[in-house]
Amino acid sequence: MILIISEKPKAAKKIADAIGNMRTVKSGDSYYYEVDGGSIVVAPAVGHLYGLVPGKEGWDYPIFNAVWKPTYRNKGFEYAKSYVQNLKELGKQADEIIVATDYDIEGAVIGYNIIKLAVGKTDLKRIKRMKFSTLTPQELLRSFKQAHLHNPFEIGMANAGLLRHYMDWFWGINLSRALTQSYKTTGSFKVLSTGRVQGPTLKILVEREKEIQKFDSKFFYKLFANIDKFQADGPEVEDVKKALEVFLSLKSPAKVVDVIKTQKTIKPPPPFNLTDLQIESNRVLKYTPKKTLELAQKLYEDGLISYPRTSSQKLPKELDTKPILEKLSKVYPFALKLIGKKYTEGDKTDPAHPAIYPTGQLPRDRDPAEMKVFDLIARRFMASFSTIAKRESTKIILDISGTTFTMIGRKTITKGFTAIYPAGLEEKEVPPVKKGDGLIVRDFELRREQKRPPKRYTAAGLLKTMDKLNLGTKATRANIIQTLYDRGYIEGKSIRVLSLGIGVIDSLEVAAPDIVSVELTRKFESKMEEVHEGKQDMQTVLEESKSELLDLLRKFKLAEKSVGASLKLSVSTTGSTTTTTSSKPKAIPGGKYMGDCACGAKIYALKSRNDKKYARCSGCDKTWGLPQRGTMKILKDKCSKCKIKLVEITRKDAKFKLCVEHGFS
């Protein structure tokens, strides 16, 4: 009997159905599938059936005693026991075993652990492997017929996967225990965590957060000229007096000094790899990387797309795209025009899987979120067969009373692939003018603005940075980011690091900086790749990793109490920043009401202790500067762009109105 081991029940059923006449067999609380009268049996796992656990009890560290334990012994995973029992019994009867788990590092670990711990065999060289990138009947049948004994690449895949599990477990449990124990020295208790990749990833976010905190958000004044429905940008001036002088000197018309047009072509994008998909899904659909991977996994399991956990931007050379495009044309009629065209491939490759592509099977009656991800994948695939897009940029330079203003327009003049794929290109119109034209200026504006600090990371931006720095893998990065949210280290779509997250990194850097070293993490990522390629021995790299970790833990132990005190302060600070929406902001004594802030609370005009005028929101505490010279009067009229009352300033030499948020008009 031939035993085929699959990763999940849905995949097992598809494999069995593809290779012959299938019969479902119920065994305990699970199922397996007999093919051709039982000469072939396809038995599924349910993902990882074994996980690493401490080999001894207690909270001491360092600990390197790790054993593989069946997941069914964990609460909530009891259902997995029946799958393990099936594989044990069927493994005893099998004359030949074929591993048909996902063709990646995690799939290799799942397969190896079943072979070793359930079936009782350890030599992968005597075990066959199926390789496939889609769960379509034709590819599964081909993969079964071409099943082969594990080659060095596949053995390396399993070794690299096991190495990753051990390293992540050693670093995660020891560093998390070290943090928790240090906090315990303060007389309190709180479970804290970090890890081999989690720590450096959080450090990246903390460094950006500190950049933002240190940023000097200086005020400046910016001039604008409104010409018909268009707006021209003028200079930025730091000094208010000089800005007012320029503002008051401006008079219509605006003379067109020059019109500069430039064109550029944009190549069609390659098909998605996982990182590209997660980034674009976040941009277009606003889905988190974790959600995108979950949705893509469902599409793969149902045979709608190829395997999503890939780094490649290239399609298989043997892939016949004509039938795929023909099937897609039932939903996307333009697909027929792409048949026979050459696609645009990217530079990135993956020895295990090609780029993500639709199989041609069309989704029906699916979850709307899954449909949106499928549509994005299908459109990206089809866009790669399309033509270049052409863009034109127009810069109009104006002279107004001796001051230079500019207008910049952008438009797509040849849509090309952008007619298929949501490329997110900005379209900005400018008036059709030529050099020497005179334009009537409707009015001028002088706005008080602030220099903006560096932008916070989004999940997609962080994912891109992790990919660039080689932190984690395409399959693990989304979960690492989600863990940072779950631990209370970060919050928001525009990621803000909370006091606890900053405290964890600051404490670790004081005790042993290499714990959060991006370089050290990258070093071991490279070594794991070398194990995969057969260039490094798994055990040698694991021992080197343990040695590095032991050295870091010794340093940490020396600073345990100071780290604990720092962490406790961070925890208390994080707790104090929690706000509630139930308490209403109160009026500020002595302040004059100026209107409503964007947060919904009231704004008041105030004076500081040194008699400086300013405005402050009673809710979010946002502040605005007010002109210090002249008599100020708060008018009943409100700004046309917000709910804040206009202020009238009267001086000997001038009289003008302004909005504290949007400046002069």
Looking at the chain, the whole-number percentage of residues with pLDDT higher than 70 is: 95
pLDDT by residue (tens digit) across 221-249?
999 999 999 999 999 999 999 999 999 99
CATH numeric code, 2-150:
3.40.50.140
Q: What is the DSSP letter of 115?
A: I
Confirm whether pTM is higher than 0.75. Answer: yes
Domains 2-150 and 219-268+389-450 share a fold: no
CATH numeric code, 274-383:
1.10.290.10
Please, what is the Cα angle at 219 between 213 and 224, to 5 degrees?
130
CA distances from 157 to 108, 160, 532 (A): 6, 5, 5
What pLDDT is attached to residue 601?
A: 79
What's the whole-number mean pLDDT along residues 591-619?
Answer: 78
Lowest mean pLDDT among 391-400, 534-543, 560-569, 589-598: 589-598
What pLDDT is attached to residue 110?
A: 97
Q: What would you report as the CA-atom Rg of the chain, rounded to the nearest whole angstrom?
A: 31
Distance CA 306, CA 290 (A): 18
Lowest mean pLDDT among 54-58, 63-67, 150-154, 278-282: 54-58
SS3 648: strand
Phi, psi of 593 (to 5 degrees): -65, 130
Determine whether 64 is exposed, middle or buried from the number of CB atoms within 10 Å of its CB (0-12, 13-18, 19+).
middle
The candidate with the shortest Cα–Cα distance to 446, out of 643, 250, 612, 652, is 250
Helix ranges, 23-151 (H): 80-93, 105-113, 137-145
Q: At a CB cut-off of 8 Å and minimum separation 6, what does 661 contact?
A: 624, 639, 641, 642, 644
Categorize the per-residue pLDDT at 654 as very low, low, confident or very high, splitting at 50, 70 and 90: low
Q: Flag whether pLDDT at 570 surpasses 90.
A: no
Residue pair 530/536 in contact (Cβ under 8 Å)? The answer is yes
Q: Please state which architecture CATH assigns to domain 219-268+389-450.
A: Distorted Sandwich (2.70)
Q: How far is CA 403 from the centre of its chain?
A: 44
Active site residues: 307
Q: Flag whether pLDDT at 45 surpasses 70.
A: yes
Q: Flag whether pLDDT at 653 surpasses 70.
A: no
Helices (H) and strands (E) in the chain, counts: 17, 26
Distance CA 511, CA 494 (A): 29
What pLDDT is attached to residue 577?
A: 34
Residue with tokens 């399959």: 475
What's the whole-number mean pLDDT along residues 157-175?
Answer: 95
| Domain 162-213+456-576 classification at class level | mainly alpha
Please, what is the Cα angle at 452 between 447 and 458, to 5 degrees?
135
Q: Flag whether pLDDT at 574 surpasses 90.
A: no
Between 189 and 224, the higher pLDDT residue: 224
CA distances from 258 to 226, 228, 255, 327, 452 (A): 18, 19, 9, 51, 30
Phi, psi of 466 (to 5 degrees): -60, -40
What pLDDT is attached to residue 665?
A: 47
What's the whole-number mean pLDDT along residues 84-106?
Answer: 96
- How is the chain split into domains, by residue range? 2-150, 162-213+456-576, 219-268+389-450, 274-383, 592-664
Q: Flag whether pLDDT at 314 surpasses 80.
A: yes
Mean pLDDT of the chain: 91
What pLDDT is attached to residue 614?
A: 79
